[in-house]
Structure 1
Amino acid sequence: MSTAPRLLLISPSFHGYWQSIGDAFARRGYEVHTARYDAYDTMAEKVRLKATVQLPERLRLARDRQGVENRRLTDRVIAMMRGVRPDRVVIIKGDGLDDRFWDALGETPRILWLYDDLHRHDYTEDFLRSVGPVVDYARSETEELQRRGVDAHFVPNAFDPHRAAPTGHRSGEIVFIGSGYDNRLETLQTLGERGLPVHAWGRDFSRHVIDRARTFSWKRPPFTSSREVPLERAYQIHAEAAAAVAIHGLQNGHAMRTFEIPGMGGVQLVDRDDVDQFYEVGTEVAVWHDIDELTDLARRALHDTAWAERMREAGRRRTLAEHTFDHRLEEVDALWH
């Protein structure tokens, strides 16, 4: 009979990061069970969500359909929690669950892990002060939460070297993978207009009829684009590209891509000076501040292969030494009360 502590990981499905986190906990000796609270794995489930929640809310035909759906998902998670009877619980985001879940936790040790901006969640300060340790991916948010009496801890995002291996292929493209926010679209389109071989992946870029329906939009940018890809393939695309562009904008913390691109041996062109807390700027990653600087760096990545190869090697070496999920879980695992 297993004597390993039972850990229930409650997480959104978002790009399969639950798998990387769960695997890292398992390597630390836990018996890991996972509840993906927003899992819609079958086509029937996806169609039902679109028809009964997303479309009515977009057309303003019904009120609080998402609340009804959250109650259904909460019931499913509570049932799993009662079946697992975990010794410890880690909740990633948790914003798809209602108050009944937190009541059902009782005195079970828990950690709330926020790997997205705090303002994207509905948690009150009083709740965050009472819930237990809170892990936040942004240093600025962590410091602010601490000032407000929250037991908050800064743990950045990370890279999972177990998910995929570099292929050794080079595509000769300037790539971006992610959501098509306005600032990203504008940046990528300008690069394309300046003659750079831009290629973007994601439902907001894809011309496929299903993606246009999913995003309720027919308009698409003029540069090369493709459908969403699994995280493993995204990792490889970053490694294969001449360079990968990281565009944060107003995001408070560093996205997973900050660590994934160099982790795979990619050339990262990132828009954040504070990346220097993780990487040496100029040798492990390159930082840009405006479209002209980004254009120059992208052209250098295309033509100065010696510079690019040095950056690939140095960035990957740093990431594997300091910025994997195993490194992050060592920090998280020290927080149990």
Structure 2
Amino acid sequence: MTARRILLVAPAFHGYGDSIAGALRRVGHEVSVHPYDLNATTGDKLRSKVLHELPSRLGSTLGEQARMRTLTARAVAAVRASRPDVIVTVKGDVLGTHYWEAVDASGAHQLLWLYDELSRMEFDDEILISRPSIVSYSPHDVAELSRRRLRAAHVLDAFDHTVTFTPIRSNELVFVGARYADRERILTTLHRAGVPVRAYGRDWSSHPIDRLRTWRLRSPQVPSARDVPRGTAYGITAGAVAALNSHTDQDGFTMRTYEIPGSGGLQLIDRPDVDQIYAPGEEVLVFASDEELVELSRRACADRAWATQIAERGQRRTLAEHTFDHRVPVLEAAWG
């Protein structure tokens, strides 16, 4: 495809915008990234807590409204300053009407990339149906958007093979990510069954700063550690006995689905339909109950050679089929 000047407007979350941009650059595109919700300094983070999050905690919508205005103004400025051929907006549900008007007025080709489900986002329906092209990780959402006669395509999440990391060997089963009730229940079950576990992330951490950041008094009864950068997370999953990937009620496969095997880790996943992308029992391990998860975890702890063989096959599949570079042709077709 012809090289394009691309503006990528994406959440700052774990630097996934930079991973997407890197893949686009490797095929010749010129890419600038606008991380629309980045709080770059400690002062920015504190202001966001006080002006945006605190009002929401107190039941007011004023904080979120102020946040939307601020993020929208920044994104509009980025569109007007860049003069791109293509604007790729990742997620973007916290950006207001003025942003989408600026995108439309730019004359650029457009693509909206949803790596979350619509049911978990706050998109205005009029904005959604006016988008010329949408890709999503959710087969359900793609089917629904297509039913509404919108141009929609399915694009899987991916692993960034260019992130550098060093494996951190441990005898633990690890989880890296947000704390939801079902994940807490699973990890608590493993811990009580005597499986060495550790959860990483600010939602799990008992550190006083993390408790303040997440507005809570208690921590779950699971061994935990603080948030880690993505490269460190890859090292943790690469060196652990195994890494848990719990989707609960999600439809598409999350980034972790590709990152755990991509880093060389053994993935324990709660989705039998993962057979669409990995071979269960050969490249990943699938569990259908707490009892099965405990059994698989104990076997991985006792037989690291068996676990390593599965992890290595999963890594080979990931590098062959599931990096961000493999997703670029779908993106190019979608905005073309």
TM exceeds 0.5?
yes
Paired position in structure 1 for 2:63:
65
SS at match of 2:130: helix
Aligned residues of 2:278 and 2:314 also touching (Cα < 8 A):
yes
Unaligned runs of 5+ residues in structure 1 are: none
* Equivalent residue runs for 1:182-193 within 5 Å: 182-193=181-192
Paired position in structure 1 for 2:176:
177
**CA offsets per residue over residues 18-43 of structure 1, 9 Å max, x none?**
11001111112111111111010100
Indicate the RMSD between aligned Cα atoms, in angstroms: 1.4
Aligned residues of 2:94 and 2:122 also touching (Cα < 8 A):
no
Paired position in structure 2 for 1:78:
76
Paired position in structure 2 for 1:129:
129
SS at match of 1:252: coil
CA distance, structure 2, for counterparts of residue 322 and residue 276 of structure 1: 14
Paired position in structure 1 for 2:119:
119
CA distance, structure 2, for counterparts of residue 319 and residue 197 of structure 1: 27
1:152 aligns with 2:155: no
- CA drift of 1:124 comes to 4.6
**CA offsets per residue over residues 220-277 of structure 1, 9 Å max, x none?**
1222100000011111111111000101101111110000000111100000011111
Which of 97, 100, 103 is equivalent to 2:98?
100
Give the letter aligned to residue 112 of structure 2: L
Give the letter aligned to residue 311 of structure 2: R
1:16 aligns with 2:15: yes
Distance change >3 Å, CA 59–CA 190, structure 1 → 2? same
CA distance, structure 2, for counterparts of residue 265 and residue 50 of structure 1: 37
Aligned residues of 2:97 and 2:127 also touching (Cα < 8 A):
no
- CA drift of 1:110 comes to 0.6
CA distance, structure 1, for counterparts of residue 61 and residue 114 of structure 2: 28
Paired position in structure 2 for 1:275:
274
Paired position in structure 2 for 1:237:
236
Unaligned runs of 5+ residues in structure 2 are: none
Report how many aligned residue pairs link the two structures.
333
- CA drift of 1:97 comes to 0.8
Provide TM-score, normalisation by structure 2: 0.96
- CA drift of 1:134 comes to 0.5
Aligned residues of 1:6 and 1:88 also touching (Cα < 8 A):
yes
1:26 aligns with 2:15: no
CA distance, structure 2, for counterparts of residue 176 and residue 267 of structure 1: 12
- CA drift of 1:58 comes to 0.5
Paired position in structure 2 for 1:89:
87
Aligned residues of 2:239 and 2:265 also touching (Cα < 8 A):
yes
**CA offsets per residue over residues 90-129 of structure 1, 9 Å max, x none?**
0000112100011111232110000011112223555333
- CA drift of 1:334 comes to 1.6
Displaced runs of 4 or more, over 6 A: none
Greater CA drift, 269-278 or 98-107: 98-107
